[in-house]
Amino acid sequence: MTAEKAEKGKMEEGAASGRGVLRRLWGCMSTRLCLVAVAAYCAVALYGEASYRISRAMDVTPSYNAVDDAHRNVSPVRSWGAAIRRMCGTAGAEDAAMPFRPLGTDNLGRDVAKRCVQGARIAFHVGIMTSLIAIPLGVMLGCAGGYFGGRVDSAVVWLCATVASMPGLLFILAISLVAGKGLMGIYLGIGLTTWVGVCRTIRAETMKHRDRAYVQAARVLGYSHMRIICRHILPNVAHLILIQFSIRFPSAVSTEVFISFIGIGVQDEPSWGNMIKNACGRLWQGVWWELASVTAAIFVLVLAFNRLADALRDCFDPALRTGRGA
């Protein structure tokens, strides 16, 4: 009964701590802007996913891949100017026939804005799926090594050192080539090569908690190792998992952009890497808006997640909180 009450009290304390973290995050203006930016990207990615699924279900060419030969390489300035003239009633025949493309069109007349939306969809696919591979693997191995110690810990440390000694990007490319071009190769390539940092962080935190009084009390009460890890240690390292996700997500997106840029990643879909690759060949023609739009989209997403990762670390790090209180 006493153990159950202690466990309930610990859960209530964790919930109160979570609410306090949310208040601190929302109280900072820069962090608030980052949260709004991430929420906006999520909404855009969901819209892109719905558009993609509807096009697949109806077996039609998606609007973001629709070719318009009459309106190739239309700049955003020209598109906005034509829209304003139509609103003012001063549009000519050419302006009246020009569809509104807020970010312009590419060399095939495709809407850059819609293709950026699909790039956000693919970026969220990659960030979430690779995290679902890397983080559980790193947490499982880190908890096993930190809790059991001995030969188990030695095997985990050896495995981490072996994987970390391999050139990360080349390892990702090798797995992607073996699994085949496309999203599945990217998921496996990034997910199976980026768990080492998560494992080391969780292992160190688990070693700190395994000798705490509440873990020793659970052992005395006869709780199994699995129950101790799942009910007592994992809740105390959950904040590190959240921080690792916020770090891993933008890193995975950046890696996918590079892999797609060199032609190994996503095929026949407007990922941000493919868009950059296509746009680079037309910079000499003065077509700058496609590259600028994609670069801005990547910059804002990565900046927002990196700022959130720093804010989460500041909220959860006891040393930083103590230093501020002093």
Q: Which helix (H) or strand (E) holds 205?
A: helix 196-209
Instruction: Give the residue, 76 or 267, on which the prediction is more confident.
Output: 76
* 20 — pLDDT class (breaks 50, 70, 90): low
pLDDT of residue 40: 95
Specify the pTM: 0.84
- CA distances 165 to 12, 159, 162, 178, Å, are 42, 10, 5, 20
pLDDT of residue 193: 86
What is the C-alpha separation between 231 and 164, in angstroms, rounded?
30
Instruction: Give the residue, 77 or 23, on which the prediction is more confident.
Output: 77
Tell me: domain 43-49+118-325, CATH 3.30.2010.30, correct? no
Tell me the CA end-to-end span of the chain in Å, nearest whole number: 38
